Amino acid sequence: MNTALALPAVAPPRTWRRRISDLLYTRRGLLLLALLAPPLLWFGVIYLGSLFALLANAFFRLDDFTGQVVYELGLSNFVALTELANLDAARRSVGMAVAVTLACTVLAFPVALVIARHATGATRALLFIAVMLPLWSSYLVRLYAWKLLLAREGAIHWVAERLHAAGLIEMVLATPLIGGPSLSFSTLGTFIVFVYMWLPFMILPLVAAIERIPASTIEASADLGASPATTFRRVVLPLAMPGVAAGSIFTFSLTLGDYIIPQVIGDSTLYIGQIIYRQQGVAGNLPFAAAFSLVPIVAIGLYLWFAKRQGAFDAL
């Protein structure tokens, strides 16, 4: 009886694609590097490269006679930063960023608490849509809508006149530091629009942080006899601080770097973003604009360091 001899199986030839696939499969670190290389290359070369190229111009200077950049290393731009007008703009910008951050925190906490702990189903969905809805429209559309609302012929003044409260607005506008000809040309108006623009960026991290608080912790506080106010102050607020820090990263940095809102709503006082824009776009003084760009970069860097110590990135 004849028996067929079994022939040994012949492995298919390994192509270069198969070799690369086997290499990436066996060495997961190499696979991770291959996946991260394109975005890291873009971030490192295009973003950081252009940023360092901009900051390198801070050590050059602008010739006052010819208006041309003189490529000679020096510190004249950094010395100019210590002038009173520039220091005042930096102080005003940081003060506005801190004030907007505090106001957004106070306004966002009740909304975030309702969304995270009390709203359910359709109500919760509607609240989320209400928070996100302003972000679905154009930044400039929202800005100019507020300019119309805050103008003397706008809806806010019209309502105030019908309620016989126009004198209250006039009294606020006559207040030094925050007043002006109208709400649409005042520091107060700038503050209001800043808070409106960045409030969603504070609410969403707070919702995420409050949702992480175990319900049993709040119930235990009530069982031990703590009032709702004490529970909020001693339990909810400390555990929600990472969310506050995370949201404040957005509100602080966005306010500090914005120049469009103060340009459209604000009065004649200048902020950091406006000075950088005017020096680079109008005066053509790129070296001084680059030097002034270091101010918000350092301020935001210090703020990020502080926020990280508060556990902000745990709530992102």
CATH of the domain at 141: 1.10.3720.10
> What pLDDT is recorded for position 9?
55
Sequence-ordered list of residues with C-beta below 8 angstroms from that of 92, at least 6 positions apart, any chain: 269, 270, 271
- Any domain includes 18: no
- Any domain includes 217: yes
DSSP, residue by residue, the chain? ---PPPPPPPPPPPPHHHHHHHHHHH-HHHHHHHHHHHHHHIIIIIIHHHHHHHHHGGGSEE-TTT-PEE-----HHHHHTTSHHHHHHHHHHHHHHHHHHHHHHHHHHHHHHIIIII--HHHHHHHHHHHHGGGGS-HHHHHHHHHHHHSTTSHHHHHHHHTT-HHHHHHHHTSTTT--SSGGGSHHHHHHHHHHHHHHHHHHHHHHHHHTS-HHHHHHHHHTT--HHHHIIIIIHHHHHHHHHHHHHHHHHHHHH--HHHHHTS-S---HHHHHHIIIIIS--HHHHHHHHHHHHHHHHHHHHHHHHTTGGGG-
- Any domain includes 285: no
> What pLDDT is recorded for position 197?
94
The total number of structural domains in the chain stands at 1
Tens digits of pLDDT across the chain (316 residues) = 455 555 555 556 667 677 777 666 677 777 777 777 888 888 778 888 888 888 888 888 888 777 788 888 888 888 888 889 889 999 999 999 999 999 999 999 999 999 988 888 889 999 999 999 888 888 899 999 999 999 888 888 889 888 888 888 888 888 888 888 888 888 999 999 999 999 999 999 999 988 888 888 888 888 888 888 888 888 888 888 888 888 888 999 899 888 899 989 877 788 988 888 888 877 778 888 888 888 888 888 888 887 777 666 664 5
> What pLDDT is recorded for position 104?
95
> What pLDDT is recorded for position 300?
83
- Whose structure tokens read 């016989």? 164
- Any domain includes 123: yes
> What pLDDT is recorded for position 14?
64
| Residue 122 structural domain | 92-268+295-315
Residue 63 token pair = 């010739």
- Any domain includes 2: no
- Residues 152 and 110: their CA atoms lie apart, in Å, by 31
- Any domain includes 118: yes
CB atoms within 10 A of CB 256: 24
Closest CA to 238 of 259, 210, 202: 210
Closest CA to 150 of 165, 140, 160: 160
- Any domain includes 6: no
- Any domain includes 240: yes
Closest CA to 114 of 124, 105, 104: 124
Closest CA to 139 of 96, 70, 201, 92: 201
- Residues 91 and 79: their CA atoms lie apart, in Å, by 17
String of b and e for 18-37 (b: at least 16 CB within 10 Å)?
A: eeeeeebeeeeeeeeeeeee
